[in-house]
Amino acid sequence: MQNSMNKTNEEPIEIAPNIFFIGVFDPNIRTFDIIMKTANGSSYNAYLIKTNEGVVILDGVKLEFQDIFFQKVEKLCTYNEIKYVISHHLEPDHAGSIPELIKRAPQAKVLISPQATAMLKAITHNENIDFETVWTNKSLKMGDKTIKFLTTPYLHWPETMSSYVQENKLLFSGDVFGSHYHDRRLFNDLVGDFHYSFKYYYDHIMRPFKSYVLNAITLYDKLEIDLIATLHGPILRDNPKKYIDYYRKWSQNSYKLSSNGKKTLSIFYLTSYKNTQDMAEAIYEGAESVDGIIANVYDLASIEESNMINILEDSDGILIGSPTINADAPKPVWELLSCMMLLEKKGKLGSAFGSYGWSGEAVDMIIHRLKSLNFRVPPIENIKIKLIPTEEELQDCYDFGVEFSHILNGKIIEMTMN
């Protein structure tokens, strides 16, 4: 059977006057960037603008699909008509075809963000590319089109940017507002219901950069937008503002239903013989005795990953309790910590505690990991207890909960660097 992925007779699609979709569809991809499942594939969206002063290409596609991309380019122009290549994002799903494009159109100037300079060299291995860096308030006038650049870093790489065609009120957003959702009908008012995919994409790609999403939205809010041309999935022409508002809501909102302005401390533990659990409960009692703190205790043996992520996101501080098993912390502890990959880590306070039998490595390993994840780990003595905690040791746990909570409340202590 002929694989639809190999279709070569696809035509460019005009999405606004003289602005064309020249991207490619990848219905067979099932995992994206290791961390995302893509149940019905995706697309790598690229665009071409034709003017009477020449052609602008916006982004490219994955290397393995570049033949289809170039066939589409050739249906619209000759390579020597290409004056500019705008690259909003240099991840290989969009930049894979850039080196070959530069070879075919060596006169074209590549426009990138300043942060992309070193990356462009690292993906092309070509020191002689004619490129220029652009940022907010810079623009490019070509024939009847004015393209304004917007600096939107960390969505989701440091070099990402967006651009806006003034005459058509068209935002080229980059990866922002994308979906890994393959549907050749292309426009949001024609494709199937891709809501799940739009949210899933946000959760996995943009959620760790929430504050950058909000910064970008302040730029987008200044524009009148009729159409958002994303780098993946449907182009948003029906009510594009709705999608910006979703991102705004998800990025502003914590999932907290109520915290009464108090700081949230989440205490996670694992236990085999209840020793670490008893410690967790004593720490909880100590924390709860401090005004302005809401503490909760969670058994890591019985928690769903999605709940873990939401709890972590809403926690101002976290404490992780683990016994040492075979000179390590057991897997659920590392699973908890690996969820941090999907979250913004700024400013969270963390530490660890646990019971052990003889060597007690787990607590130090967790603390080391928390520091590498940029948690603030206060230099109060962490709590390791040999086997069954005594009453006195449980009192130490209580005191630890009190002290950690005071620090969470803003008590000034000297923080040492890693």
Ligand X SMILES: Cc1cc2nc3c(=O)[nH]c(=O)nc-3n(C[C@H](O)[C@H](O)[C@H](O)COP(=O)(O)O)c2cc1C
| Options 126, 272, 338, 395; binder of ligand X; rule CB under 6 A | 272
Residue with tokens 């948003």: 236
- Taking the complex as a whole, the smallest distance from the CB of residue 386 to ligand X amounts, in Å, to 8
331 lies in the binding site for ligand X (CB under 6 A): no
| Options 106, 114, 357, 379; binder of ligand X; rule CB under 6 A | 357
- Taking the complex as a whole, the smallest distance from the CB of residue 271 to ligand X amounts, in Å, to 4
271 lies in the binding site for ligand X (CB under 6 A): yes
- Taking the complex as a whole, the smallest distance from the CB of residue 329 to Fe ion amounts, in Å, to 32
- Taking the complex as a whole, the smallest distance from the CB of residue 333 to ligand X amounts, in Å, to 12
- Taking the complex as a whole, the smallest distance from the CB of residue 276 to ligand X amounts, in Å, to 3
Smaller CB distance to ligand X: residue 101 or 362? 362
DSSP readout, 109-172?
EEEE-GGGHHHHHHHH--TT--EEE--TT-EEEETTEEEEEEE-TTSSSTT-EEEEEGGGTEEE
The CA distance from 176 to 143, in Å, is: 28
CA neighbor of 242 nearest in space, from 295, 298, 194: 194
Q: Indicate which of Fe ion, ligand X, none lies near residue 91 (CB less than 5 to 8 Å, by partner kind).
A: Fe ion
The CA distance from 159 to 152, in Å, is: 8
The residues facing 376 across adjacent strands are 349
Q: Hey, which bits of 179-261 come out as E strands?
A: 227-230
- Taking the complex as a whole, the smallest distance from the CB of residue 272 to ligand X amounts, in Å, to 3
Q: C-alpha distances in angstroms, 210 versus 171, 206, 343?
A: 20, 6, 8
Binding to ligand X by CB under 6 A, coded x per residue (else -) over 228-267, reads: ----------------------------------------
- Taking the complex as a whole, the smallest distance from the CB of residue 94 to Fe ion amounts, in Å, to 6
172, 162 contact by CB (below 8 A): yes
Smaller CB distance to Fe ion: residue 231 or 312? 231
The CA distance from 414 to 418, in Å, is: 13
284, 298 contact by CB (below 8 A): no
Q: Indicate which of ligand X, Fe ion, none lies near residue 276 (CB less than 5 to 8 Å, by partner kind).
A: ligand X
257: which residues sit within 8 A by CB, 6+ positions away?
none
Q: C-alpha distances in angstroms, 329 versus 358, 388, 409?
A: 14, 18, 29
Burial class, 409, CB count within 10 angstroms (exposed 0-12 / middle 13-18 / buried 19+): middle
The CA distance from 91 to 93, in Å, is: 6
Near ligand X by CB under 6 A, which window of 125-133, 324-332, 363-371, 392-400? 324-332
| Options 325, 339, 365, 380; binder of ligand X; rule CB under 6 A | 325
Near ligand X by CB under 6 A, which window of 11-19, 134-142, 325-333, 371-379? 325-333
356 lies in the binding site for ligand X (CB under 6 A): yes
Smaller CB distance to Fe ion: residue 26 or 175? 175
276 lies in the binding site for ligand X (CB under 6 A): yes
| Options 18, 45, 113, 355; binder of ligand X; rule CB under 6 A | 355
| Options 59, 159, 175, 183; binder of Fe ion; rule CB under 5 A | 175
Q: Indicate which of Fe ion, ligand X, none lies near residue 106 (CB less than 5 to 8 Å, by partner kind).
A: none
Smaller CB distance to ligand X: residue 340 or 385? 385
360 lies in the binding site for ligand X (CB under 6 A): yes
Smaller CB distance to Fe ion: residue 124 or 266? 124
65, 26 contact by CB (below 8 A): yes
What is the total count of residues that contact Fe ion (CB under 5 A)? 4
**Kind and range of the H or E run holding 344:** none
323 lies in the binding site for ligand X (CB under 6 A): yes
Smaller CB distance to ligand X: residue 154 or 334? 334
DSSP readout, 346-398?
TT-EEEEEEEESSS-HHHHHHHHHHHHTT-B---SPPEEEESSPPHHHHHHHH
Positions in the binding site for ligand X (CB under 6 A): 271-276, 323-327, 355-360, 387
